[in-house]
Copies of this chain bind each other. A is one copy, B any other.
Amino acid sequence: MTYFQCDYVEGCHPAILQKLCESNLEQTPGYGADHYCESARQKIRAACGREDLDVHFLVGGTQANTTVLAALLRPHQGALCAESGHIACHETGAIEATGHKVLPLPSRDGTITAAQVDDYCRAHFTSDVSEHMVQPGACYISHPTENGTLYTKTQLEELAAVCRRWGLPLYLDGARLGYGLASPESELDLPDLARLCDVFYIGGTKCGALFGEAVVISDPALKKDFRYFIKQRGGLLAKGRLLGIQFDVLFEGGLYRSICKRAVEQAMAIRKAFLAAGVPLYFDSPTNQQFFVLTPAQGEALGQDFAFESWGELDDGRTAVRFCTSWATRDEDVQALVGAIAAL
């Protein structure tokens, strides 16, 4: 059985393991005050083209989302997001557990539009009974989205402009950011995100690290006291250097981007094979997650040798499925899958 089920079935890029081994008995201060964290922070700032960014390393995505939104929102506020957004669906109400409502907006492909945010805010702030409803207090997007799709530069610029007009910080969840940056269709690079978002995170867990996400903050109000929030949410790792080392390696010599680029190329090969076999797309994704609609027979045939994820049954009996590549996917496995698809 070969796994294309998700992008976190292996450990980490070997260069990270090597650095962990080399540094293992070195003594460093705890809680992120070590030189590896500092070096990683500097490299991330450089990659974003700005010296004024705060960079914090957290363990996982739900932790990052909870910590950032708890810091951004006042108690009567909620976060606008796509109805398919990770915080709305798959974090066991972690945001609500900090007291805040998630305010879902309809979305077909996982993105939301400037017009949606504008309409929602206008309706709220011009209502006679605003105070009876949760006030939109931040905007959450994911890029790539949970459906593998990407924002264009125009889309993100318009969204950022609307958010600023209404006073909403814009937060971008980059759990799979590497696969977005490395996509041939990407129009957005790290300096764009630093310019357009108030805060975003660079995903490590799904992009080559053992675990870890780098939260990048440009909003001065959010910078203040952010370490308190990390500690309160259980995210201040005693051996913080573990996170610093990983991002230091990933941001050395373009490793983060190059390993993700290869995964996207593999995903494109899989996509091409499915399209050639007449299998329709479920979402049109230019990143490492690929979504297709399979008949029961097709699903059964491919399920013999390959693990993939069901994304829900359609009304006509077919099934939407997801195939993921990652930094660790082997070319021979992709070739085997491509062969199996051609044989459908």
B27 touches A232 (CB 8 A): no
A21 to B10, CA, bound (A): 11
> How does the 8 Å CB contact mask read for A83-118 relative to B, with 1 for contact and 0 for none?
000000111111011111110000000000000000
> How does the 8 Å CB contact mask read for A131-143 relative to B, with 1 for contact and 0 for none?
1111100000000
For the complex formed, measure the closest distance between the CB of A340 and the CB atoms of chain B, giving whole angstroms: 17
Q: Which residue of B lies closest to A21 (CB)?
A: B17
B231 touches A211 (CB 8 A): no
Query: In A228-252, which residues have CB < 8 Å from any B CB?
Result: 228-239, 242
For the complex formed, measure the closest distance between the CB of A20 and the CB atoms of chain B, giving whole angstroms: 7
A17 to B16, CA, bound (A): 12
A23 to B9, CA, bound (A): 11
A135 touches B75 (CB 8 A): no
Interface of A is mostly: loop
Query: In A175-199, which residues have CB < 8 Å from any B CB?
Result: none
> Which residues of B have CB within 8 Å of A75?
70-71, 97-98, 229, 232
Count, chain A residues at interface, CB 8 A: 73
A24 touches B11 (CB 8 A): yes
A55-63, A262-270, A295-303 - interface stretch: A55-63
A335 contacts B by Cβ under 8 Å: no
A157 to B98, CA, bound (A): 35
Q: Which residue of B lies closest to A243 (CB)?
A: B211
